[in-house]
Amino acid sequence: MTEYKLQTPGFDARFPQQNQTKHCYQSYLDYHKCVALKGSDFEPCKVFWHTFQSLCPHDWVENWDDEREKGIFPGDLSIDQFKDKTEEKKE
Amino acid sequence: MSIETRSKFQLFPSHEVNPSPWPIYMSFSLLSLGLTLGLLMHGYILSTWWLILAISVVISTIFLWTRDIIIEGTYLGGHTIAVKRGLNIGFLIFVGTEIMIFIALFWGYFHSAMNPSIEIGCQWPPVGITSIKPTELPLLNTIILLSSGATVTWAHESVLSRNRHNALLGLFITTLLIVIFVLCQICEFNSATFNITDSVYGSIFYATTGLHFIHMIMLSLMLAICTARMYVYHFTATHHVNLETTILYLHILDIIWLFIYIVFYWWGC
Amino acid sequence: MYMLNNMLNDVPTPWGMFFQDSATPNMEGMMELHNNVMFYLCMMLGFVSYMLYNMLTTYNHSVLPYKYLYHGQFIEIVWTTFPAMILLIIAFPSFILLYICDEVIAPAMTIKAMGLQWYWKYEYSDFIDDKGETIEFESYMIPEDLLEEGQLRQLDVDSPIVCPVDTHMRFIVTAADVIHDFAMPSLGIKIDAVPGRLNQTSALIQREGVYYGQCSELCGVMHSSMPIKIEAVSLGEFLAWIDEQ
């Protein structure tokens, strides 16, 4: 028997409403920004992955992945504004 | 029967309208207009000539009906003070419904713009939509409309102070300004980079500005008729209901345009 | 004495006038609020009916319809403030319950329910196996001619939701075509499934059992044929079920 942890994204003060659409969507954006900045092995990115995995319907995620491949994803996935900050920290 | 003979025995101030075919004509022509529009938009009719036919039937019915009203009011003297008040109240209620429909459209706009949904990239205007710059043609349109408000007030004042020349000039300039506005809007709609099927932005934008545009066409017709009636001595300093309602209509459309300009062109870009 | 042959009711029954038995604290609260409000309702209905009856039967002898009273400051203040107070007394517990039911603070697992024409699709995306796959299945109603002995007509499905008892669960409800509604009377859940929108609600099932619900937003011809069935089992059994999937 595999070990399971009963764990799911908890309450997020940014999304206190019954409507969790933006919670799911923002986590999806954050995950892909995080991966673009730090690479897919970066452990903290997993938090975003788990969040959108648990909240978004699979059809939505598949659809968004398709859109990203085709380059027609409407969301803001630019990471330039974060890049400057990380470089400053390194210096 | 003239108003003098009637006033000798009639105890109430209203006039009884003769049996008229226009209400039922109007109903059927509006039905045909609605059906034609629907069938045309969904591809069941391919020729726009049906639409033009339906619109011309509507317009000619309006023309014939208002012709009867002018005969009753101006030539037969049926429009007493009480009847004039009733007409004005009726028009006020109509203007109220106009305001309601625009409130509904503004509501739709704010609903979509204040919390943009994820399908349009959580931003307003949506991703890929280049909105119209508020400082170009829309600003000119605003100036045109505001000055038309000024000229129509001048015309009204001239009517009240029995200055026929100035009244005619004022009405003519106002009509011209509204026609220029309509032409400017046509230019703008033609040069816009998005159309009514481009996301919720295009839909709500054209639904509202388009409805206002149709109203402006109607207003330019109303002003042209007022100018013509002014020219043929229909209006007096004390009796000009047609002119009063047209002026009210112009001001309301003016105010609605100001809100459209502020919200749709300025805030929403 | 009732406890001796007590059978909890989690399905609609013929002539079922009252609620199904509650299985969550939320539903418990809703029933209490209902009883609470019903108390005021009965009081007022009784009072108004009495006055009406009194006036109709003993018109001339009754003191209630005093026909020479055409203006009374005091009575007007009373009949304005009194209903307002009653409404406030009803509104406060109602709002408290509403916002308590809205809270989804620390759920332990998430179940996604998607309404489609005309079946439900469930996803358990918290559990990911080594291949990176998760649990996802569709749940269709069992048609009448395939029902087995003991199964409920128009309520039983081929693959029910299985969930553990005494665990905070979050339901994420959405739809893929038209609006549906995820309703479970015993759990005190009734939430619209809207395409393009994720609605969340919570449930803390307190006893093992099989719960039935139905789509509660008219969604097409087979609207009545997309029931929801939840099997609440102990945590161990649930984990075993997860393993099987």
Nearest beta carbon to residue A25 from set B118, B123, B128: B118
- Chain C: closest CA distance from residue B24 (Å): 38
- What is the pLDDT at residue B80? 87
Considering chain C, what is the average pLDDT of its residues?
Answer: 89
DSSP C170-221: EEEEEESSS-EEEEEGGGTEEEEE-BT--EEEEEE--S-EEEEEEE-S--ST
Residues 6+ apart with CB under 8 A from A56: A24, A25, A27, A28, C198
Contact at CB, B121 and A21, closer than 8 angstroms: no
Residues 6+ apart with CB under 8 A from B55: B33
Percent of chain B scoring above 70 in pLDDT: 99
- Is pLDDT of B94 > 80? yes
Average pLDDT over residues A50-76: 90
DSSP-derived pairing of the beta strands C199-204 and C168-175 = antiparallel
Fold that domain B1-79 belongs to in CATH = Helix Hairpins (1.10.287)
Q: Which residue has the higher pLDDT, B11 or B149?
A: B149
Residues C212 and C148 in one domain: yes
C15 conformational bin, left if phi > 0, alpha if psi -120 to 50, beta if neither: left
H/E stretch holding C156: none
Interface test with A, best of C98, C121, C126, C194 (most A CBs within 10 A): C126
Query: Which residue in chain B has the smallest CA separation from A25?
Result: B118
Count of domains in chain C? 2
- Is pLDDT of A85 > 70? no
Please state, as a whole number, how many other Cβ atoms lie within 10 Å of the Cβ of residue C66.
10
Fold that domain B96-267 belongs to in CATH = Four Helix Bundle (Hemerythrin (Met), subunit A) (1.20.120)
- What is the pLDDT at residue C97? 94
Longest pairwise C-alpha distance within chain C: 87
Confirm or deny that C163 is annotated as ligand binding: no
- Is pLDDT of A84 > 70? no
Show me where the domains of chain B are located. Answer: 1-79, 96-267
Tabulate helix, strand, coil % of chain B (nearest 5).
75, 0, 25
Contact status of B136 with chain C (Cβ, < 8 Å): no
Residues C137 and C191 in one domain: yes
Considering chain B, what is the average pLDDT of its residues?
Answer: 92
Cα separation, C93 vs C36, whole angstroms: 9
Residues C221 and C198 in one domain: yes
Average pLDDT over residues C176-190: 93
C37-73 confidence digits (pLDDT tens): 999 999 999 999 998 898 888 877 777 777 777 888 9
- Chain A: closest CA distance from residue B211 (Å): 30
Residues 6+ apart with CB under 8 A from C89: C40
Confirm or deny that C223 is annotated as ligand binding: yes
Contact at CB, C110 and A23, closer than 8 angstroms: no
Contact at CB, A10 and C105, closer than 8 angstroms: yes
DSSP A50-68: HHHHHHS-HHHHHHHHHHH
Q: Which residues of C touch B118 (CB under 8 A)?
A: 196
Confirm or deny that C85 is annotated as ligand binding: no
Contact status of B127 with chain A (Cβ, < 8 Å): yes
Instruction: Give the Cα-Cα-Cα angle B147, B149, B154 (nearest 5 degrees).
Output: 95
In the three-class reduction of DSSP (H, G, I as helix; E, B as strand; rest coil), residue C139 is classed as strand
Percent of chain C scoring above 70 in pLDDT: 97
- What is the pLDDT at residue A38? 85
Interface test with C, best of A3, A54, A62, A65 (most C CBs within 10 A): A54
Interface test with C, best of A1, A6, A50, A60 (most C CBs within 10 A): A6
Residues C144 and C96 in one domain: no
Tokens 């020729």 identify what position? B47
Query: Which residue in chain A has the smallest CA separation from C172?
Result: A55
Cα separation, B105 vs C30, whole angstroms: 38
Residue C234 lies in a domain: yes
Residue-level length of chain A: 91
- Is pLDDT of B16 > 90? no
Residue A91's pLDDT band, with cuts at 50, 70 and 90, is very low
Under 8 Å between Cβ of C184 and C27: no
- What is the pLDDT at residue C1? 45
Residue A12's pLDDT band, with cuts at 50, 70 and 90, is confident
Contact at CB, B127 and A25, closer than 8 angstroms: no
**CA nearest to B137, candidates B262, B34, B265:** B265
Under 8 Å between Cβ of B41 and B76: no
Tokens 């055409």 identify what position? C70
- What is the pLDDT at residue B1? 58
How far from the centroid of its chain's Cα atoms is residue B218's Cα? 4
**Distances in whole angstroms, Cα of residue C52 to Cα of each of C42, C45, C56:** 15, 10, 6
Count A/C contacts: CB-CB distance under 8 Å.
71
Model pTM score: 0.79
- Is pLDDT of B260 > 90? yes
Contact status of B117 with chain C (Cβ, < 8 Å): yes
Q: What is the CATH number of the domain that holds C139?
A: 2.60.40.420
Average pLDDT over residues B29-57: 93
- Chain C: closest CA distance from residue A39 (Å): 19
Residue A1's pLDDT band, with cuts at 50, 70 and 90, is very low
Radius of gyration of chain B (CA): 22
Contact at CB, B121 and A74, closer than 8 angstroms: yes
Residue C7's pLDDT band, with cuts at 50, 70 and 90, is confident
H/E stretch holding A2: none
Residues C52 and C96 in one domain: yes
- Is pLDDT of A61 > 50? yes
> Which residues of chain A have a Cβ shorter than 8 Å from any chain B Cβ?
21-22, 25, 74-76
Average pLDDT over residues C161-171: 92
C196-233 confidence digits (pLDDT tens): 899 999 999 999 999 999 999 999 999 999 999 999 99
Domain A21-90 has CATH 3.90.550.10: no
- Chain C: closest CA distance from residue B119 (Å): 8
Query: Which residue in chain B has the smallest CA separation from A63?
Result: B119
**CA nearest to B105, candidates B213, B251, B207:** B207
Average pLDDT over residues B192-220: 93
End position of a domain, from candidates C74, C102, C130:
C102
- What is the pLDDT at residue B89? 95
Confirm or deny that C101 is annotated as ligand binding: no
- Is pLDDT of C114 > 60? yes
- Whether the CA torsion C67, C70, C73, C79 is positive or negative: it is positive
- Residues of the domain holding C222: 109-244
| Number of helices (H), then strands (E), in chain C | 3, 10
Which chains lie within 8 Å of chain A at 3 or more CB pairs, if any? B, C
Query: Which residue in chain C has the smallest CA separation from A23?
Result: C198
Tokens 């100036």 identify what position? B143
A20-49 confidence digits (pLDDT tens): 999 999 999 999 999 988 887 888 888 899
Average pLDDT over residues B157-162: 94
Q: Which residues of A touch B119 (CB under 8 A)?
A: 74
Residue C11 lies in a domain: no
- What is the pLDDT at residue B65? 94
Residues C120 and C97 in one domain: no
- What is the pLDDT at residue B105? 96
Under 8 Å between Cβ of B112 and B202: no
Interface test with A, best of B111, B117, B118 (most A CBs within 10 A): B118
Residues C117 and C96 in one domain: no
Contact at CB, A22 and B122, closer than 8 angstroms: yes
Nearest beta carbon to residue B121 from set A21, A22, A76: A76
Cα separation, C41 vs C14, whole angstroms: 26
Nearest beta carbon to residue A57 from set C112, C129, C199: C112
Contact status of B118 with chain A (Cβ, < 8 Å): yes
